[in-house]
Amino acid sequence: MKKLLLLLAVSGVLTSCQIKNDAEPTLRQKAAQMLMVGFRDTAITAESEVAQWLRDYQIGGVILFEYDGPSKSRPRNITSKQQLKTLVDNLKRLSPTPLFVAVDEEGGNVSRLKPRYGFESTVTPQYLGTLDNEDSTRFYARRIAQTCRSLGINVNFAPSVDVNVNPDCPIIGKIERSFSADAEVVARNARWFIDEHNKAGILCAIKHFPGHGSSVSDTHLGLADVTQTWQDVELQPYKLLLRDSLPTAVMTSHIFNRNIDSVYPATLSAATLSILRNSIQFNGLVFSDDMMMNAISKFYGLEDAIRLAINAGVDVLIFSNNIDTYNPDIVKDAIDIIVRLVGEGRISEERIDEAYWRIVDAKAKISSK
């Protein structure tokens, strides 16, 4: 009944995410919808890798970057406004289902849409949190949201709602990604930021659950153990933002906190995500942080990482192809693994269905705006 009602609600949006209007999608197609993948192209043809991923596998989303990490060079996907709009238009045209097109556009030091490519300048979250002024935060959030909308980007992995517990945190505080050390200031400014994106039809994903602001190391590079530094206040922005069913998604972090889970980092931890699902009672879409970051890839094989993340409660797995290596086979490999794990009973098909229908729902909502 739940599936039927949701299908009726989203019919007309290519039956939202349904692969064929007259058939339930296959397990492989559902698994493909759970993947968001990075690629190397500023323009695409029918022979492009990403075109094949869309056409042959029907992946659920792509993530855009301006810099290519493995080759340490530019360009990656972005050279100008018009080039990027054309690229996004072509990606969506090639996709047989509604497509998540995502970017990390927090503003300031974490920006893919830079002035060098013709985009308007932005400011850091820390600057906005220091002002703590609704007009200012909305102004810059609206600028980002309207830019994304004009390009066809429909997911922004922002804002960071990490509390600035450690101002010297190399990946949060030191580069001014946190609004404040005060959780209420964080939540207040994040709400304004998200609201401006919702008005523009952009899905925000708040991050990095359950809080990265106290870490002394960077999960891009390796293990970030926050057992001795993490504080309960780092959950407060999530409680404040999600208690009112604010339309947003959540991105996990790869931090390790022995006090919550003595074995697994947050993205792979059912104990950690149960805080989000059960204590905070968030039933929306959960994205992983990049599964290719060294906090995951150095310690877990691809199969174990996928199994643990999905069973923990992650709905969309991000493979940026933009850390140390670029894997042209990541889409096929990940789908094959998911299908095999379901066949072996190590991931339930019900868990895949749960993730799939959350993706359907999220895509229908942003497609209707």
DSSP letter string, 148-206 = HHHHT--EE---B----S-TT-TTTGGGT-SS-SSHHHHHHHHHHHHHHHHHTT-EEEE
- The domain that holds 118 is classified in CATH as 3.20.20.300
The pair phi, psi for residue 160, each rounded to 5°, is -75, 125
Task: Report the alpha-carbon distance of residue 138 to residue 161 in Å, rounded.
Answer: 16
Strand partners, 287: 251, 316
Prediction pTM value: 0.94
pLDDT of residue 110: 97
> Which single residue is written with the structure tokens 């949060």?
172
**Into how many domains does the chain fold?**
1
Amino acid, single-letter form, for residue 45: T
Residue ranges of the chain whose pLDDT lies below 70: 1-22, 368-369
CB 112 within 8 A of CB 161: no
Full domain range(s) for residue 36: 29-367
Residue 17 covered by a domain: no
- Listed residue (63, 100, 60) closest to 78, CA to CA: 63
Q: What is the DSSP string of 229-298?
A: T--GGGGHHHHHHHTTT-S-EEEE---B-TTT-SSS-GGG-HHHHHIIIIIS---S-EEEEETTSHHHHT
Instruction: Determine if residue 108 is left, alpha or beta; phi over 0 gives left, psi from -120 to 50 gives alpha, anything else beta.
Output: left
DSSP state of 119: P
Residue 18 covered by a domain: no
- Listed residue (157, 160, 218, 151) closest to 186, CA to CA: 160
Strand partners, 36: 61, 318
pLDDT of residue 368: 66
Instruction: Determine if residue 245 is left, alpha or beta; phi over 0 gives left, psi from -120 to 50 gives alpha, anything else beta.
Output: left
pLDDT of residue 8: 33
Residue 20 covered by a domain: no
pLDDT of residue 79: 98
Instruction: Determine if residue 211 is left, alpha or beta; phi over 0 gives left, psi from -120 to 50 gives alpha, anything else beta.
Output: left
Residue 10 covered by a domain: no
Residue 270 covered by a domain: yes
Residue 22 covered by a domain: no
Say whether 100 sits in a helix, a strand or coil: strand
Model pLDDT for residues 97-137, shown as the tens digit of each residue: 999 999 999 999 999 999 999 999 999 999 999 999 999 99
pLDDT of residue 219: 77
Model pLDDT for residues 5-22, shown as the tens digit of each residue: 343 333 333 444 454 445
Residue 349 covered by a domain: yes
Task: Report the alpha-carbon distance of residue 195 to residue 28 in Å, rounded.
Answer: 35
Model pLDDT for residues 63-74, shown as the tens digit of each residue: 999 999 999 999
CB 89 within 8 A of CB 62: no
